[in-house]
Amino acid sequence: MEYRKDKHGNKLSMLGYGCMRFTKKGNAIDIDKAEQEIMAAYEAGVNYYDTAYIYPGSEAALGEILERNGIRDKVNIATKLPQYLIRNSKGLDKYFEEELSRLRTDHVDYYLMHHLTDVEMWEKLKAVGIEDWIREKKASGQIRNIGFSYHGNSDNFVTILNDYDWDFCQVQYNYLDEVTQAGVSGVKAAAEKGIPVV
């Protein structure tokens, strides 16, 4: 496995493991199969596991598997604030605490504002105090790195990128369509600011 370092010198595997679509058994995650897959990835050197509040059962399954195998502190968990559910500042703690509980951990290594599609979404989060909340969570160690996942156009991406001191960002990237969403221009803008892209 090849590794790169983030802004703070943490070593991350070049290949991450997305936990959005674990194999199902009936209507539930097949936890045994998910465990086999995660452990195979771990043994191959993968140390970055991506999930989200809205991925059905994913956070709980990942937390159970990492705890059961005693590897929580040997990997990095990335999960996401469901910003589309936030109505006030109380919602920030409500959803974050629920995520910590599901993941069976006291901190999140890489925390993202999930599914930002335009500047207005980021402004709504700012209006409920997200910047102070992030500072508090980072100061307490409950959040180690803060970022955002993006699903809008490249102009809005650059505006959000420049509006906060992000540790990283996540984009969808298509080798055949280099202009949709953040696109090449967004990835280059992040690189120019020294912001790692997942």
Q: 124: domain CATH number?
A: 3.20.20.100
Q: What is the crossing angle of helices 130-140 and 89-103, to 10°?
A: 40
Residue-wise pLDDT tens digits, 46-99 = 999 999 999 999 999 999 999 999 999 999 999 999 999 999 999 999 999 999
Q: How confident is the model at residue 9 (pLDDT cuts 50, 70, 90)?
A: very high
Q: How confident is the model at residue 147 (pLDDT cuts 50, 70, 90)?
A: very high
Q: How confident is the model at residue 184 (pLDDT cuts 50, 70, 90)?
A: confident
122 vs 154, which has greater pLDDT?
122
Residue 45 lies in a domain: yes
- Is the pLDDT at 175 greater than 80? The verdict is no
Residue-wise pLDDT tens digits, 120-144 = 999 999 999 999 999 999 999 999 9
Residue 100 lies in a domain: yes
**CA pair distance 175, 173, nearest whole angstrom:** 7
Residue 162 lies in a domain: yes
Residue 198 lies in a domain: no
CB burial of 14-50 (b: ≥16 within 10 Å; e: otherwise) equals: eebbebeebeeeeeebebeebbebbeebbeeebbbbb
Q: Average of pLDDT values for 112-123?
A: 94
Number of folded domains that form the chain: 1
Domain that holds residue 124: 3-193
Q: What's this model's pTM, rounded to 2 decimal places? A: 0.95
Residue 178 lies in a domain: yes
Pairing type for strands 3-5 and 11-13 reads: antiparallel
Residue 42 lies in a domain: yes
Residue 135 lies in a domain: yes
Which residue type occupies 167? Answer: D
How many C-beta atoms surround the C-beta of residue 108 within 10 A?
24
Residue 143 lies in a domain: yes
φ, ψ dihedrals at 5, nearest 5°: -105, 145
Question: Could you give the 3-state DSSP secondary structure of residue 162?
Answer: helix
CA separation (Å) from 197 to 170, 186, 194?
6, 10, 9
Which residue type occupies 179? Answer: V
